[in-house]
């Protein structure tokens, strides 16, 4: 009985060396490991391989050491991916469920069309983070960015929660991102730090957070702080603004017949 239990435990944890492994082969290895019963995968020496975690389809923990390529966790439905490094473009593309935790920076179009799950990024992100985020039935995507973002944050956002903490900015330094929420018609952005009105898309309003919204923000900030070793109280003490869509479908008439 003891030998069998030990064998099952060994099978449930697997380590994969991705050195010089093409992305198709790497993803095949990951899928086969999950099918074989692995519950935790550690992938080392990742250098730009794409689509990692896309087709695993189970609640498996994947630890990545290195820099994964585009579309990490695309269409993901269940796994939990922790990256010890930066991620490239389209991380969490059309993500349905699960969690991605990035101990570094993220590239452009983070969370493109995400409809569920959570993404936590410790540092800064590129252009168009949260573009086309949406809610699907009971699912609501959540994205927490520790630093700042480039232009078009929350572009065409239709649902979900996008939190920009601004922790990489110097004291009293405003966010440089422009065109925030252009085309936004759903969801909410909680922004730590300051932006001027001219940095917002014309579809976006701003307001102070009410008590319910502060409680909602606190839940996700505490998760973020736990992932990266920050003080949640210090983060929450920075002061936040709520950005919200002024209209439900500002461009709907353009597509009506």
User: Residue 3: what pLDDT?
Assistant: 53
Confidence grade of residue 255 (pLDDT, cut at 50, 70, 90): very low
Tell me the C-alpha distance between 58 and 76, whole Å.
Answer: 9
Cβ neighbors of 88 (< 8 A, separation 6 or more) are: 48, 67, 68, 69, 70, 72, 107
Alpha carbon distances (Å) from 159 to 59, 74, 200: 24, 18, 17
Question: What is this structure's pTM?
Answer: 0.91
What is the CATH number assigned to the segment(s) 105-248? 2.160.20.60
- Give 256's pLDDT tier (boundaries 50, 70, 90): very low
Sheet containing 158-164: order of strands = 13-17, 40-47, 61-67, 77-84, 97-102, 118-121, 142-145, 158-164, 186-192, 240-245, 204-207
Sign of CA dihedral 109, 20, 22, 98: negative
CA distance 131 to 129: 6
Residues 6+ apart with CB under 8 A from 1: none
Per-residue pLDDT tens digits for 150-184: 999 999 999 999 999 999 999 889 999 999 999 99
Q: Is the pLDDT confidence value at 5 over 70?
A: no
Percent share of the chain, pLDDT over 70: 92
pLDDT digit string (tens) for 186-244? 999 999 999 999 999 999 999 999 999 999 999 999 999 999 999 999 999 888 999 99
Per-residue pLDDT, 10: 45
Domains of the chain: which residue ranges? Answer: 105-248
Q: For 13-53, what is each residue's pLDDT tens digit? A: 899 999 999 999 999 999 999 998 899 999 999 999 999 99
User: Residue 168: helix, strand or coil by DSSP?
Assistant: coil
Q: What is the pLDDT of residue 58?
A: 82
pLDDT, tens digit, for every residue of 50-79? 999 998 878 899 999 999 999 999 999 999
């Amino acid at each position: 009985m003891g030998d069998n239990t030990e064998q099952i435990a060994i099978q449930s944890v697997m380590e994969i060396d991705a050195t010089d492994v093409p992305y198709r082969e790497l993803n095949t290895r990951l899928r086969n490991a999950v099918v074989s019963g692995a519950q935790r995968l550690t992938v080392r020496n990742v250098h730009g391989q794409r689509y990692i975690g896309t087709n695993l389809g189970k609640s498996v923990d994947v630890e990545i050491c290195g820099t994964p390529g585009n579309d990490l966790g695309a269409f993901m439905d269940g796994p939990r991916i922790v990256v010890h490094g930066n991620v490239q473009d389209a991380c969490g593309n059309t993500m349905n469920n699960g969690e991605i935790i990035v101990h570094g920076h993220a590239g452009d179009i983070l969370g493109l069309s995400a409809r569920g799950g959570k993404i936590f990024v410790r540092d800064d992100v590129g252009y168009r983070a949260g573009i086309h985020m949406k809610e699907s039935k009971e699912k609501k995507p959540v994205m927490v960015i520790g630093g700042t973002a480039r232009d078009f944050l929350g572009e065409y956002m239709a649902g979900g929660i996008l939190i920009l903490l601004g922790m990489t900015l110097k004291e009293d330094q405003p966010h440089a991102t422009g065109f925030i929420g252009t085309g936004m018609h759903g969801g909410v952005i909680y922004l730590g730090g300051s932006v001027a009105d001219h940095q917002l898309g014309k579809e976006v309003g701003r307001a102070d957070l009410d008590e319910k919204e502060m409680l909602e923000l606190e839940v996700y900030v505490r998760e973020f702080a736990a992932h990266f070793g920050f003080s949640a109280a210090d983060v929450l003490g920075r002061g936040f603004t709520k950005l919200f869509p002024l209209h439900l479908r500002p461009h709907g008439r353009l597509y009506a017949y």
